[in-house]
Structure 1
Amino acid sequence: MSEFGREHPRNLIPELCNQFYHLGWVTGTGGGISIKDGLKKSQCTPLFMLAYRERNAGAVIHTHSPHAVRCTLLYDKEFVITHQEMIKGIKDATLERYLRYDEKLIVPIIENTPFEKDLAGSLAGALRAYPGTSAVLVRRHGVYVWGDTWQQAKTMTECYDYLFEMAVEMKKLGLDPALNPESEKNGEK
């Protein structure tokens, strides 16, 4: 494929950003995507580099998804959800496989900073504390998601966004997204 083929980052990144804009993930100055193929430095670069180094990611997506931001307001240190079909779209790096719908998905939440580059220390800490995670939420900011390829990162970002929205809606209805409905049926807590 030529350097200017459809999947070359120069062509692919604007196309993905256009899609992300229409999803509401990258509005104003918010959000970004990086594909390992040379990097133009931005505020996000140190954070993208952490995912490349620590997780051997092939691509990193950063969104300011309203669903992700709302989740950071509803959860303290971790976002937790289980028994949702879209969990099957999330790969766990420790298990080296995609999760089952009935497994618990846990995403760490780190505190925001005035300058995005200053998130690197807490992001690195979250990567060490949660070796299986493929995403980190940033309070009142958004989410970083990475995958082995840009396709995997995009798919997982879509799954995470769905799950963030589902958790917000469940909480509005008084439902606990982390509750195992099977154990509730059997009278377990």
Structure 2
Amino acid sequence: MPSKLTHEEAEALVISDDPEHPANLISELCRDFYKLGWVTGTGGGISIRQGEHVYLAPSGVQKERIKPEHIFVLPFAQSSVPKPGSKRDFLRIPSKKGLSESQCTPLFWNAFTMRQAGACIHTHSQHAVMLTLLHPRDAQSFKISHQEMIKGVRIGGVGKTLSFFNTLEIPIIDNTAVEEDLTESMAAAMEEYPDAPAILVRRHGVYVWGNTWEQAKTQSECLDYLFEIAVKMLLAKLPLVGDN
């Protein structure tokens, strides 16, 4: 168990004049993602790991109105690996009533522990959702090649960037009624597809990670572009993989 912090020490974790501080970044990025339609209706979110601290956007709040004081802070070294229904260790819990930790917490931990990621973004992008709907119900993954934006995506989300001629493959898992319950199927897909930089969730959205928040953001943007063009290609009956 982490040592208990005083109120002042806990508050100091989210108070900073540095625009690059995770609490400030999460607030700013959520506003940007809201404008893109990725985190509307309180859904979606982002978590950033800085050293031994994990900063987490809250659930149950309009994402474009998040402030640094709304951010949860957890020690990366938990008493037990976060899983559905498990109790988490916290360094800081916001005092504002009605806020709760994100249901995405154990899924973010998948990215932190299985890919050593420094940040993970979850969006409810309509492009991601539509793409999963256009794939057959039993499709296990999405593939696309010969697209320039593939060059902005990294192997496994944290390795070398792909080339124009590489085929990008991202697993698709089925949605669940409770978001936490996606934890095991996400982990299984990450094990089966070690080169995948993200996980698509049918009728729900996508999880994307990176070594840093910058890389996670870049890859989220590149992938969203690829999801959108893939939807248009499928509707136009164009092959996703090939040189057309």
TM over 0.5: yes
Distance in 2, matches of 1:95 and 1:11, equals: 23
Contact 1:95/1:132 (<8 A) preserved: no
Residue 52 (structure 1) aligned with residue 52 (structure 2): no
Distance in 2, matches of 1:28 and 1:49, equals: 23
Percent identical among aligned pairs is 56
Q: Please state how far the C-alpha of 1:164 moved relative to its aligned partner.
A: 0.1
Residue 20 (structure 1) aligned with residue 33 (structure 2): yes
Counterpart of 2:213 in structure 1: which amino acid?
W
| Structure 2 match to 1:9 | 22
| Structure 2 match to 1:68 | 128
Q: Please give the residue correspondences for 1:136-155 in structure 2 after superposition, counting only pairs within 5 Å.
A: 136-155=199-218
Pick from 152, 175, 184 the counterpart of residue 112 of structure 1: 175
TM-score, normalised on structure 2?
Answer: 0.71
Distance in 1, matches of 2:157 and 2:110, equals: 17
| Structure 2 match to 1:38 | 54
Q: Residues 29, 173 of structure 1: CA spacing in aligned structure 2 closer, same or farther, 3 A cutoff?
A: same
**What SS does structure 2 have at the residue aligned with 1:100?**
coil
Q: Which runs of 5+ in 1 are unaligned?
A: 182-189
Distance in 2, matches of 1:51 and 1:151, equals: 15
Equivalent residues, number: 180
Contact 1:4/1:10 (<8 A) preserved: no
Distance in 2, matches of 1:94 and 1:34, equals: 15
Q: Please state how far the C-alpha of 1:4 moved relative to its aligned partner.
A: 3.6
Counterpart of 2:229 in structure 1: which amino acid?
M
| Structure 2 match to 1:92 | 155
If each structure's helix is expressed as a fraction of its own residues, which one has the higher value?
A: 1
Q: Please state how far the C-alpha of 1:94 moved relative to its aligned partner.
A: 8.9
Q: Please state how far the C-alpha of 1:101 moved relative to its aligned partner.
A: 1.2
> Which runs of 4 or more aligned residues in structure 1 lie more than 4 Å from their structure 2 counterparts after TM superposition?
none
Q: Please state how far the C-alpha of 1:130 moved relative to its aligned partner.
A: 0.5
Contact 1:70/1:168 (<8 A) preserved: yes
| Structure 2 match to 1:184 | none
Q: Which runs of 5+ in 2 are unaligned?
A: 1-14, 56-71, 73-100
Q: Please state how far the C-alpha of 1:29 moved relative to its aligned partner.
A: 2.1
Q: Residues 129, 101 of structure 1: CA spacing in aligned structure 2 closer, same or farther, 3 A cutoff?
A: same
Contact 1:94/1:131 (<8 A) preserved: no
Pick from 224, 227, 231 the counterpart of residue 161 of structure 1: 224
Counterpart of 2:36 in structure 1: which amino acid?
L
Larger radius of gyration: 2
Q: Please state how far the C-alpha of 1:95 moved relative to its aligned partner.
A: 9.3
Distance in 2, matches of 1:73 and 1:42, equals: 26
**Bigger Cα displacement from structure 2, 95-104 vs 54-63:** 95-104
**What SS does structure 2 have at the residue aligned with 1:7?**
coil
**What SS does structure 2 have at the residue aligned with 1:33?**
strand
Residues 124-152 of structure 1 show CA distances to partners (whole Å, capped at 9, x for unaligned) of: 10010011111000000000000000000
Contact 1:79/1:106 (<8 A) preserved: yes
Structure with the bigger RCO (C-alpha within 8 Å, sep 6+) is: 1
Q: Please state how far the C-alpha of 1:180 moved relative to its aligned partner.
A: 3.4
**What SS does structure 2 have at the residue aligned with 1:38?**
strand
